[in-house]
Structure 1
């Protein structure tokens, strides 16, 4: 079941959208509507939801502030549903953490498509995080840091880029050409030999050369 909190002060629109979403056959959807932004924030503390549909023009509190407050507290998909057409509102909402912005009026079928699209992205991200957390490698892209079995690795930018790419492709063979074209710290004119040298240094820093297998004539594969 998909549980949605709709923060919307146009109760007639909320009723139409709720009726449409709850009659969909693809997956059971349950919608709870709240027109008071303060009550909505309180409800989010008490109940679990899979997604929030948020209007921007609300009584007593602007929807952008509501978006910011939600994002401070939890990582939940937020779709803005608003009649405000100013591009500044859209940009600000996305900067504050909204996942999508749907200008009113719209066909409810478009809202349906946006809901499933956003939820798929969150599910894919959660799966990626779960995969990384189950590995001996931990990749922190914001800090450009990789740890192996809890030990931070002292890597150059190019070495970090190569290993990070291999972690994302764990279990798959990556060619030297893939590495050259997908690692920004490596010059596109780099030779295969220079890639081999950097991979050799990574193996030494890991302390276990068997972690990176050579695929003869192709490239390398990171194994657990």
Structure 2
């Protein structure tokens, strides 16, 4: 068992259980399932295939549940596997709801890219957050031809990651390449200037503005649908 698997096993045992009173009696949730009811997803460990599959499944569920309301992705992670992170990234771009990203603690490596990939205008960081971008890394062994193949692959991956960061930050690709040559740490304000986030927030106010706007749009849509139904009924009666 890997150290990551051991860590996840221990932390899973420590996840709090929330008990709610409903008209049907008591119902208990683990804390992350309860947050999911409020459309909140949390990335709090290194990103691997297992974590990515859970995040993707939650996003797809929330899209099917209410495609017009925002999803809130909270990030406190040192990064992780590139392929797993790109799977989450592609899902964020694929689904219909806006994805608000909020960094608390740290968003490093692949998770800095996920933070930047949130919906424009809805990417936030708390005041003491730290962000870090860099080039992908990996270790290879085997025959020289195999190592050459892996080297070409990681160079292609770096090109793709540079393209994505340039797209979401508004920086030139050449600048992104230079800035990711080594570990590049940033404060929230520095990340804002760079284009990784849109605002540094100290309270929930900014996030709630997005939620109120979403609810207003949903209500407008419902009223419009009801109006169309009433028109159809009147037309049928005639």
Higher relative helix content: 2
Report the TM-score, using the length of structure 2 for normalisation.
0.33
Greater relative contact order (CA < 8 Å, ≥ 6 in sequence): 2
Report the TM-score, using the length of structure 1 for normalisation.
0.35
